[in-house]
Amino acid sequence: MFAQCADPASLEGLAWLMCYLTSGKHMLFYASFGTVLLLLAITAPIALLFGFGGALASRSRIAPLRWFGKLYTSMVRGVPDIIFFLFVPIALDQGLEWLRHQVLCDTDAPVRQGNDFVVCAAAKLPLSSSPPWVHDVYGFTLAVVAFSVVFGAFAANVLHGAMQAVPRAQLETAEAFGMSPRQVSRRVLIPQMWTYAVPGLSNLWMILIKATPLLFLLGVEDIVYWARELGGTKTSAFTYPHPDWRLYYFLAILVFYLLMTWVSERILGRLTRRLSAGQATMGGEALRKGPA
């Protein structure tokens, strides 16, 4: 990185540490914090969308849609999320490859041969000829889908509860004004439910933050991956030899997460206050009365 870092063996003390912490691999480590933030930024809205769909589906008047919604919202209750994180990417990958196999390959050979999953070269996802970054993006996308599916189910639970919590009288009034069910949903139910949904969604955001290190299990090169990679003992064959420093790397990650949750808690606290204003709830009443 810097000119004086050309020969690390001659460096000592702080200068060595400076050069060590700015080495190319460390830059990748710092960038992986961005990966985590990117995952959060992409997953949260998609999960909210999935949750919204799930909650609406579980209230639907069409029975199969309602069953699907109920199944989707209750699946996360009994099954650990890690199982979904392991299952969804590989199931999705195989599903897509199977579809491409049907379309692109002209063999009649079955996809499952004994203990192997075989598709022709043209059906591989991503193609084996594609550059490494395509593989990275593909892996990351699968991770995003897995996270969105699981957290969408969580969000569906929260939003379903919030929809139930909207006072029945509000909806009845809307009906009395002659609104159709669709209008009731759009004009009364959905705008009103957010204040009831915010505590649950805040919690969900915290759970999501704390689930991000599981990216490591999905084979994405995230902060846990780099912490293990960089922290492990480096013999003198390496440019920067050092003993086992994994503990320090994990401590850094711990601090990162503590900061993330602390900041989030602050922001969500303010948001809750904002949304409670003018609502017929305990929080809203406390705001109306002002500080006692």
Partner 1 sequence: MSCAQTITDYALRSIGIGERLLPRTDFDLCKQITLIGSGLIWNLYFAFFALLVGFFLATALAMAKTSGNPWLRKPADGFVFLFRGSPLFIQFFLAYETLVLLPRAGIEIFGFTVETSWLTKAWAGALIVLILNTTAYSAQIFHGALQSVPKGDIEAADAYGLTGWHKFRRVMWPTMLRLAWPSYTNEAIFLFHATTLVYFSGFPAFQQRGDALYYATYFADRTFNPFVAYPIVATYFIICTLILIGLFGMVNRRLNRHLPGAVTRLKYRPELVR
Helix (H/G/I), strand (E/B), else coil: 280: coil
Site for partner 1 in 101-130 (CB under 8 A): 112, 115-117
- Cross-strand pairs, 113: 116
Spatial distance between the Cα atoms of 141 and 89, rounded to a whole number of angstroms? 9
Answer for which of 61, 77, 182, 289 binds partner 1 (CB under 8 A) is 77
Q: How many residues bind partner 1 (CB under 8 A)?
A: 48
CB of 138 or CB of 250, closer to partner 1: 250
Spatial distance between the Cα atoms of 27 and 21, rounded to a whole number of angstroms? 8
Instruction: State the minimum distance, in angstroms, from the CB of residue 79 to partner 1.
Output: 4
Instruction: State the minimum distance, in angstroms, from the CB of residue 191 to partner 1.
Output: 22
Residue 228-257 contact track with partner 1, rule CB under 8 A, x = bound: ---x------------x-xx--xx-xx--x
Site for partner 1 in 171-230 (CB under 8 A): 200, 203-204, 206-207, 209-214, 216-217, 224, 227
How is 102-141 classified by DSSP, letter by letter? HHH------SEETTEE---GGG-SS-TTS-HHHHHHHHHH
Q: Are 139 and 218 in contact (CB under 8 A)?
A: yes
DSSP secondary structure letter of residue 254: H
Looking up tokens 């589906």 gives 57
Spatial distance between the Cα atoms of 151 and 53, rounded to a whole number of angstroms? 12
Where do contacts with partner 1 occur on this chain (CB under 8 A)? 74, 76-83, 86-87, 90-91, 94, 112, 115-117, 154, 157-158, 200, 203-204, 206-207, 209-214, 216-217, 224, 227, 231, 244, 246-247, 250-251, 253-254, 257-258, 261-262
